[in-house]
Amino acid sequence: MKKYIIGISSYYHESTVCIILNDAILDFVKEEEVTRVKGDNKFPRHALEKIVNKYQILESEIYAVVFYEKPFLSWASVTHHALSRPFHRWKIVLNQFQKFWTGSLSFSSDLLRIFNLSKDKIFYCPHHLSHALNGLYFSKNKSKKYLIFVFDGVGDGESLSIYRKEDQNIITEKKYKYPNSLGLLYSTVTQYLGFNINSGESKVMGLASYGAPIHAKLIMREIINYNKEDLNLNDDWFAFSSNPEISYSKKFIEQFGEPGKSSDYNNLNDKNFERLANIASSFQHVLENIITEIIIKFINKTGIKNIVFSGGVGLNSKAMQEISENSGAEELTVPASPGDSGSAAGAAIYGYMLKNGFKFPKFSYLPGAKFIDSNNKNLLKELFSKVSDRNNAEKKIANLILKGNVIATFIGNREFGPRALGSRSLLCAGNQSAVIENLNINLKKRELFRPLAPMIRDDLLDKYFYKIDNSVHNLYWMGLTMRARQITKDKYPKAVHIDGTSRVQIINKNNIFYHKLFLEVEKLKIDILINTSFNVAGDPMVFDYVDCYTNMKRMDLKYLFTDDGIFEIR
């Protein structure tokens, strides 16, 4: 008999549904993929309905539905902090009481509008435990001891949790409480620089490489108090605990100048660009140093050198490189989706453990199934003309790439996290600088300073990059950056960021299509492809053939590769 376990994250950022059937993750769907609203944080009704209809799930077949946090605890911790100074923080107090009826506290009632479940099938996993289980799912050897670090904004009132995994136990080592949060610190800087919180943090990381950390000493002296035991933010510099709309205070502006805006990033030689890049660099530098110090401290305390890093801060691939190189870790694992979206998987794994004990479902970093029915098949034929069958398509695609084409891919299962891993990607030759620049700026509409990621066959990794053995497994899902060798800078300059690093994806023989494709492009003297997500900047990745068509029209792309072959847009 089928038994489904459903994990859900919602109400904060990137609402997501993860579903386990028997011993494997069956699907993983973000609400934004269906609604086409970037970062959609509403209860994932559309994603759930897609899943229920696709798999014809009966309510009797559902073993458990697990929410990714404890709603009242999460609400109460922020509310309690706001009420400690109610006149100063009245906007947050008001916002919190409005959320009482519309936020995560309404999860059960929202769920029961879709499923007529008995309440004994509804469970709540502690927020940071959801992150931790999601991280452990990606680790190399589940039988080993691990230190698990969860850094995020806030969840269940916690901003940093450190766990020790031994045998079949996850033991708490230390907790840091709201509002003292490195995640909220970085989000504050993100908003100050003119980017959107929860989606613009990667832009800050990219921008930081253009600056110098000239403010790092000031930040450590005035803004953050970290003394190896406690981590405290100076509330004078922040407004997120008093204002739901603005995270930085007047003092922040007085020190660093006027907040950034999109037009500030149009000229990389402008003085204002330099000012903002220096601010980004300073906070990035401080983030990397504090995180690494904390990890070193707990490695020394416990003697455990296998590290799992999860939570939204785990998306900072440059900080993950710093940990890999300088923490003394023997293994570093960062999940493909370390933020709240991935916590839906962590919640589902928690439900799986309720049924099976301390066991994990079968591993896959491409768990998102295709939602392609007969109507979608007809749409493919209506919107595109077939160029070639799937057989031997690799050679044709290689030649199209050699001629300067950007190839859109819509193949196999969807990616787990926010990074395109070839399933929903745009590909071009890594040595055609003009094509890459056009793709980044004119087609995808990304900022000038943002880099694109290289894809390479694993056998050639050490030829072009300085491989670090303790973290190389993360490169299958672009978990961290690594240093490029001089040959890469010379032959593939657009695959290397200004700081000399790249966020690399590696391919092995198990990825049959890409392995064959690389053997073909290597014959054409192309060892590296550029791989970026199949979307215009600011939009969710494509979900169906209508999305493929719409995005290709907007970007003026010609070729789409699918499981049925190569197609040309009409």
pLDDT in tens, 449-505: 999 999 999 999 999 999 999 999 999 999 999 999 999 999 999 999 999 999 999
What span, in angstroms and rounded, lies between the C-alpha atoms of 186 and 200?
10
* CA-based nearest residue to 208, from 281, 275, 269: 281
Mean pLDDT (whole number) for 37-46: 95
Tell me which H or E stretch contains 143. Answer: none
Q: What is the pLDDT of residue 87?
A: 43
What span, in angstroms and rounded, lies between the C-alpha atoms of 489 and 483?
10
When pLDDT is cut at 50, 70 and 90, the band that residue 84 belongs to is low
What span, in angstroms and rounded, lies between the C-alpha atoms of 204 and 116?
44
Residues facing residue 8 across a β-bridge: 17, 67
When pLDDT is cut at 50, 70 and 90, the band that residue 77 belongs to is low
Residue 158 DSSP label: E
Q: What is the pLDDT of residue 89?
A: 56
Whether 135 contacts 333, CB under 8 Å: yes
Q: What is the pLDDT of residue 503?
A: 98
Mean pLDDT (whole number) for 27-48: 95
Whether 440 contacts 491, CB under 8 Å: no
Angle, vertex CA 382, rays to CA 379 and CA 388, nearest 5: 100
HSE-CB at 132 with a 13 A cutoff on CA atoms is 23
Examine the pLDDT at 72 and tell me if it is beyond 80: no
* CA-based nearest residue to 26, from 480, 352, 328, 271: 352
What lies within 8 Å, CB to CB, of 87 at 6+ separation is none
What lies within 8 Å, CB to CB, of 563 at 6+ separation is 370, 390, 411, 412
What span, in angstroms and rounded, lies between the C-alpha atoms of 313 and 127?
15
Question: What is the pLDDT of the chain when averaged over all its residues?
Answer: 92
* CA-based nearest residue to 322, from 133, 471, 216, 175: 471
Query: In a 10 Å sphere around its CB, with 0-12 CB exposed, 13-18 middle and 19+ buried, how is residue 392 labelled?
Result: exposed
Q: Which residue matches tokens 């595109």? A: 384
User: Which of 366-370, 411-415, 443-447 is the least confident region?
Assistant: 366-370
Residue 541 DSSP label: P
CB atoms within 10 A of CB 19: 28
* CA-based nearest residue to 215, from 273, 277, 260: 277
Q: What is the pLDDT of residue 365?
A: 86
pLDDT in tens, 207-265: 999 999 999 999 999 999 998 778 999 999 998 877 778 989 999 999 999 999 999 99
What angle do helix axes 271-302 and 201-208 make, rounded to 10 degrees? 100
When pLDDT is cut at 50, 70 and 90, the band that residue 80 belongs to is very low
Whether 180 contacts 231, CB under 8 Å: yes
Tokens, residue 522 = 């290597």
pLDDT in tens, 342-362: 999 999 999 999 999 999 999
Examine the pLDDT at 90 and tell me if it is beyond 50: no
What lies within 8 Å, CB to CB, of 60 at 6+ separation is none
Tokens, residue 232 = 């405290």
Residue 126, classed as helix, strand or coil, is: coil
Q: What is the pLDDT of residue 149?
A: 98
Q: What is the pLDDT of residue 218?
A: 98
Tell me which H or E stretch contains 8. Answer: strand 4-9
Phi, psi (5° rounding) for residue 401?
A: -65, -45
Q: Please tell me the pTM assigned to this model.
A: 0.93
What span, in angstroms and rounded, lies between the C-alpha atoms of 69 and 156?
7
What span, in angstroms and rounded, lies between the C-alpha atoms of 357 and 350?
9
